[in-house]
Amino acid sequence: MTPTPAPTDHDPRTRLVVLDMAGTTVADGGLVEQAFTRAAERLGVAPDLAYVRATMGESKISVFRALFGDEELARRANTEFELAYAELVDGGLVTALPGAAGAIAALRDQGRKVALTTGFSRTTQDAILDALGWREIADLTLCPADAGRGRPYPDLVLTALLRTGTDDVRQVAVAGDTSYDMLTGVRAGAAVVAGVLTGAHDRERLTGAGATHVLGSVAELPALLTAREEEV
């Protein structure tokens, strides 16, 4: 019996764009470090801000597990962190990065699905979305609990692909401000893994983690994707 040949056609158009939140579409302004410091103080431990900066973008519970090596203490720390971050959000300290809302609208106007992802819990993610009036801004929002594992694993991107009915990982673009965002995109097989310079990590960290492009901000992403497709 002659085997059926595998399909060779490939649609190069980007159908799904997976965007990080804090540092990419949402201004961080040091809020993660502030929340971590508050949480550490409430637990009576010294805050290791160097490690927090190095692991920006990673699932927060994973960060606390690595720091404390104790599941119960890690969960307590995560709870305190989420409470502290929520206090900052309620205090009106969360803002959108310039051009972010316009970029998301432009991407969707181009016919692309947009997913917003985070390393925070669903409660914190929803609080940020509510503070910004962003409940309807994207096609999908995901946190680590929705996908199984957070960054740097590929789960968030692949869950977005499945939920939006995207056919091929090569039709996915990922954008973020940390090396963990880049690793997530690379591991998921995304064709475009774009680092932005509005958040935690610099050009060297982003390219070292696999960025295919480095942009000044997410506002440049719609034009990049359009230009890339015009070249094909």
Burial (0-12, 13-18, 19+ Cβ within 10 Å), 169: middle
pTM for the predicted model, two decimal places: 0.86
- Residue 140: strand pairing partners: 115
Beta-bridge mates of residue 18: 115, 174
In this prediction, residue 75 carries a pLDDT of: 85
pLDDT for position 5: 47
- pLDDT score, position 1: 54
C-alpha span between 142 and 50 (Å, rounded): 27
Those residues of the chain that have pLDDT short of 50 are 5
- Run of H or E residues at 45: none
Q: What is the pLDDT of residue 232?
A: 66
pLDDT of residue 46: 73
